[in-house]
Amino acid sequence: MKHDINLTVNGELYNLTVESHHTLLTILREQLVLTSVKNGCSEGECGACTVLFDGKPVNSCLVLGAEADGHEIVTAEGLTINGQLAPIQQTMIDLGGTQCGYCTPGIVMASFALLERNPNPTEQEIREGLVGNLCRCTGYTRIVDAVREAARLQRTDMTL
Amino acid sequence: MQAFDYVKAKTLEEASALLAEHNGDARPFAGATDLLIRIERGFLHPAKMVDIKNLPGFRAINALDNDWLRIGAAVTMNEVVIHRDVESRYPLLAEACQSVASYQLRNRATIGGNICNASPAADSAPALICYGAEAIIHGPQGERRVTVEDFFQGVGQTALERGELLTAIEIPPPPDGAVGRFLKLGRTTVGDISVMNVAVLGWPDENAASGASWRIVLGSVAPTPIRAPQAEKLLAGDTSPAGIEAAARAAADTARPIDDIRASAAYRTDMVRVYTRRGVEHVLAELNY
Ligand SMILES: Cc1cc2nc3c(=O)[nH]c(=O)nc-3n(C[C@H](O)[C@H](O)[C@H](O)COP(=O)(O)OP(=O)(O)OC[C@H]3O[C@@H](n4cnc5c(N)ncnc54)[C@H](O)[C@@H]3O)c2cc1C
């Protein structure tokens, strides 16, 4: 069964025809070629497919594309505005929060959402906020550092 | 993934008709965090998904005139956790829902899906049973209600008949002065499915010899979440350290766990003892009477 859907992705409106059983992850990667969205486990454990759905982080492997009709999606591509990386994207690079890079876009999205609801998280809150994102390379320490630094940058930015 | 159809139902009648018409081949579809995985793994082959999230009232939390709280079946775990009335009146439920998986998953996982999936490890269930919550069911014959305790009938089995839907969960007012504690053992500190869990609710009661009445509900140690009535009775009589230990042992005796990939039955049983004791000690320290 096919569905005609209208959705906003990274600020642009799209009209797509999608199969009922295709996940949002599949639609984003294969129909819109937004390949920052990664397929890790397909089971909601690893978080590599995390995107924002109406501003809230979700595992796009467990959402149907047809559910996104009338909704707004943001992927890691959408956090970069006029070539300017979002603070969390920049600090992940600067502080070595990324190695092989596969989990990085998902971690960036989950961290971005965490900082929206809690601009000044403790280490414990950062770790809890990222429980749904697995990384096999970094050992997490530098990811936590990157989130803390992004939080600091965003706070100083706001007081400027 | 195997192909299926998907429909967003707009009315309860439409949803019931679709579910009945497909003779069991159509499934209610909420957050899909259990459903899509079971399809992906080939355990389920539904022909049609009936999305129930947009049905009237399914995403709402309302205080009712009789002072009960009604939580729509498709309210997400995160929405339960941050709701003012849940936080102030049913903090044990907030604690339980907060313990489910990750923040991303809790934006999708619904409280209704959690109990309809009927896993013995459903983390919201022990808290709901402690509060005496009831499941509101809509079907071809109209509306009926059963306690959440009786809603669970076995592993993956609920009181729902074909064509029926869970519309909401309703929770009676908590006993005055009630204090709760939910403790969950996973393979990781945060975010894992329960190896076992326990919800403890205590409240001042002058008719109890110990000064308080208790509800103890255990998860993931039997085919359904279960109460530990013997432990509850012992605590109503005696909450000295020896009384608590006796109650914790009684709770462990109530457990009927199995060996599985997450833990052995023996380990689960002993952890029931330990976590029940810790839960009761925590509640006791906060109770004022
Ligand atoms: C990575 C991961 C971690 C998890 N961790 C936990 C955890 O820590 N604790 C925990 O308890 N669970 C956990 N779960 C399981 C799951 O997320 C929860 O059970 C969740 O609450 C299910 O809700 P849902 O809305 O996603 O249900 P769905 O998948 O949409 O539905 C589940 C079942 O209920 C039926 N159903 C749904 N709504 C209704 C309704 N209103 N009426 C009738 N039938 C209905 C569906 O047909 C299906 O059979 C985890 C799952 C994943 C993928």
Are B152 and B208 in a shared domain? no
Does B146 lie in the same domain as B12?
yes
Spell out which residues of chain A touch residue B31, defining contact as CB-CB under 8 Å: 62
> For residue B110, what pLDDT band results from cuts at 50, 70 and 90?
very high
Structure confidence by residue, pLDDT tens digits, B195-244: 999 999 999 999 999 999 999 999 999 999 999 999 999 999 999 999 99
Set of chain B residues whose Cβ sits within 8 Å of the Cβ of A1 = 5-6
- In percent, the amount of chain A with pLDDT more than 90 equals 96
- The answer on B106 and B34 residing in a single domain is yes
ipTM: 0.96
- Is residue A53's pLDDT more than 90? yes
Tell me: do B170 and B183 sit in the same domain.
no
Are residues B196 and B125 part of one domain?
Answer: no
> Exposed/middle/buried for B285, CB within 10 Å: 0-12, 13-18, 19+?
exposed
Ligand 1 contact via B90 beta carbon (within 6 Å): no
Same domain? B193 vs B169: no
- Please indicate, yes or no, whether residues B219 and B151 belong to a single structural domain of this protein: no
CATH H superfamily, domain A87-159: [2Fe-2S]-binding domain (1.10.150.120)
Say which CATH number the domain at B162 has.
3.30.465.10
In sequence order, which residues have a C-beta less than 8 Å from that of residue A96 and are 6 or more positions away?
Answer: A138, A142
Instruction: Please classify residue B13 by burial: count the beta carbons closer than 10 Å to its beta carbon, then call 0-12 exposed, 13-18 middle and 19+ buried.
Output: exposed
pLDDT tier, B288 (very low <50, low <70, confident <90, very high otherwise): confident
Nearest neighbour of B6 by CB, restricted to A64, A113, A127: A64
Q: Rounded to whole angstroms, how far apart are CA atoms B243 and B214? A: 13
What's the burial of A33, exposed, middle or buried (CB within 10 Å: 0-12/13-18/19+)? Answer: exposed
- Residue B102 Cα to ligand 1 midpoint, Å, equals 13
- Alpha-carbon gap: B48 to the closest alpha carbon of chain A (Å): 9
Sign of CA dihedral A16, A22, A28, A30: negative
Where does the pLDDT of residue A158 fall: very low under 50, low under 70, confident under 90, or very high at 90 and above? low
Q: Is the CB of A132 under 6 A from ligand 1?
A: no
Structure tokens at A56: 């809230």
B166 and B216 share one domain = no
Q: Which among B40, B51, B104 has CB closest to A59?
A: B104
Within this chain, do residues B55 and B166 fall inside the same structural domain, yes or no?
yes
Closest ligand 1 atom to Cα of B191: 8
List where CATH 3.10.20.30 sits in chain A.
2-78
Q: Which of B157, B174, B191 is the last residue of a domain?
A: B174
Atom 47 (ligand 1) nearest CA: B28
In the predicted model, is pLDDT for residue A93 greater than 70? yes
Q: How far is the CA of B108 from the centre of ligand 1 (A)?
A: 9
Site of tokens 């009960």: B68
In this structure, are B62 and B120 located in the same domain? yes
Q: What is each CA distance from B223 to A21, B128, B262, in whole angstroms?
A: 31, 17, 15
* Domains held by chain B: number: 2
Q: Using CA atoms, how far apart are residues B133 and B96, in angstroms rounded to an integer?
A: 14
Residue B130 belongs to domain spanning:
1-174
Question: Which pLDDT score, from 0 to 100, does residue A160 have?
Answer: 52
Q: CA angle, A56 as apex, A50 and A57 as ends, to 5°?
A: 15
My answer on whether B199 and B160 are in the same domain is no
B40, B163: one domain: yes
- Among the candidates B153, B174, B195, a domain finishes at B174
Task: Please report the pLDDT score of residue B27 as a whole number.
Answer: 94
Q: Which of B155, B174, B193 is the C-terminal boundary of a domain?
A: B174
Q: Give the chain A residue whose CA is nearest to the CA of B104.
A: A58
Which value, to the nearest 10 degrees, does the dihedral of the CA atoms of residues A18, A22, A25, A30 take? -60
Chain B partners of A43 at a C-beta cutoff of 8 Å?
37, 40
Residues A2-78: name the CATH superfamily.
Beta-grasp domain (3.10.20.30)
pTM exceeding the 0.90 threshold for the entire prediction: yes
Asked whether B128 and B115 are in contact (CB, 8 A), the reply is: yes
A107 Cβ contact list (under 8 Å, min separation 6): A47, A50, A92, A97, A130, A133, A135, A143
